[in-house]
Amino acid sequence: MTPDEFRAHAHELVDWMADYLAQAGNRPITSTAAPGDIRARLPAVPPDVGEPFSAIFRDFEQLIVPGMTHWNHPGWFAYFPANSSPPSILAEMLTATMGAQCMSWNTSPAATELEQVVMDWLRQLSGLPDTFTGVIQDTASTATLVAIISARERARARAGTSDAQLTLYASGESHSSIAKAVRLAGLGAGALRVVPVDDVFALQPAALRAMIEADRAAGMVPACVVATVGTTSSTAVDPLPAIGEIARRNDLWFHVDAAYAGSAALLPECRHHFAGLEQADSYVFNPHKWLMTNFDCTAYYVRDVPLLLRACSISPEYLRTAHDAQVVNFRDWGIQLGRRFRALKLWFVLRSYGADGLRAMLRKHIEYAVTFRAMVEREPGFEVMAPSPFGLVCFRHHPAHLADGAELDRHNERLLARINASRRVYLTHTTLAGRYAIRMAIGQWQTSAEDVTTAWDLVREAAAAA
């Protein structure tokens, strides 16, 4: 591709991108593709001869786009959102253009130093203590794996402790990435103790304390507790002050997972959910979930940087540079060696919206959730299933003729399928205390009050047709 051809195609793509974002709401939000459909329309063997860009782009539009799920659609209420705001997208274009691999300070000094700056900005905005130092990871799953490995590292330092003795604790509502990290860290799936939750799906500190004592009495070495602010199912908030206190008394690593809800720490009125976070050893949240930043971008904060380096750094001769003693090499702060320049998009986002703009967006989503919840509560035959401290409302349809149980679960499963068949909105589900619940997760940057009302109308229409 010549420089002139690149320029012309780039202009075409920018026009496509601007139209896509402006008209995202006009597209069906989900694909009707059946498994294998798209693959069947793609050649099984690679091209021998280069093809013109126009042919590639035509296939992108005709084969790929219809097979996409449109996360940037204003009717996005599924899972948690993945926000790709315009400034973030523009920064990603520049990141791809420069193509820098930011493993060491030396491999792009600006990338490392900008990462230090934006992570400290985010720390200040989130009200974290200045004893926390941040690094960008690809996902919360990776950050949590790093936290578990750090906890293992600290526990190993105690004389006479073997990995086989280590036990870790998280609630039954904690994210699957924690169980996965325990397994990947080689501690064995059984090392993770599942702590029961209360009636609002928050970890019960008394149960945690009892489990730690029982393990200790059995000769195990309790090493780590993971608390969640904003669980994936229902955005429940574990009591951080009590858990932090137990962690401190028992010398446990205290990791806090706020992958989705961490963005809400920017709001003074939401800070109380994060009280006790100052006791944490590590903290993770995803600007790519609710802070206008393109997937992927995870903020990981730790207190003990030397310990993190001990767990993750390795310096073969071919990576050594003359500056190593004076600089930070983020390759030593996580799993990956090679690192994308993710700080750039965060910098663009933080500067474009400012703290005020980001707070306004978060408040808007929380307000929509309050409104949606009130509509559910007012409507006969519907019930909310959990508290809604952030942008998520869990609810179900409960017609009088159906008792609680499997039949009611199936009724709501069919209801959700009918809502999503509109392809105008997209919602997903979970189970809470064994009951099927529909999740309405509000947090897409293009979503308006009208989109929320549309979703509610579709829910009611689907229920009326049931």
Ligand X SMILES: *Cc1c(COP(=O)(O)O)cnc(C)c1O
List interacting residues with ligand X (CB under 6 A): 80, 139-141, 175, 177, 228, 231-232, 257, 259-260, 286, 298
Q: How far is the CB of 179 from ligand X (least distance, A)?
A: 11
Q: What is the rounded distance in angstroms from the CA atom of residue 337 to the CA atom of residue 324?
A: 15
Nearer to ligand X, 298 or 412 (CB): 298
Q: How far is the CB of 41 from ligand X (least distance, A)?
A: 29
Nearer to ligand X, 212 or 297 (CB): 297
Closer residue to ligand X, CB minimum distance, 133 or 137? 137
Nearer to ligand X, 146 or 307 (CB): 146
Whether the Cβ atoms of residue 160 and residue 167 lie closer than 8 Å to each other: no
DSSP category for residue 166: E
Determine the 3-state secondary structure of 428 from DSSP. Answer: strand
d(CA 227, CA 431): 20
Instruction: Give the residue with the Cβ less far from ligand X, 200 or 210.
Output: 200
Report d(CA 94, CA 87) in Å as an integer. 11
Q: Minimum CB separation from ligand X for residue 227, in Å?
A: 10
The nearest distance, CB 366 to ligand X, in angstroms, is 17
Q: Residue 296, preceding bond cis, omega within 30 degrees?
A: yes
Min separation Cβ 173 and ligand X, Å: 9
Nearest distance in Å: CB 2, ligand X: 39
Quick one: three-class SS letters along 256-316? Answer: EECCCHHHHHHCHHHHHHHCCHHHCCEEEECHHHHCCCCCCCEEEEECCHHHHHHHHCCCC
Give the pair of three-digit tokens for residue 338.
Answer: 């090679």
* Closer CB to ligand X, 116 or 263, in the complex: 263
Q: 260: closest CA among 280, 225, 233?
A: 233
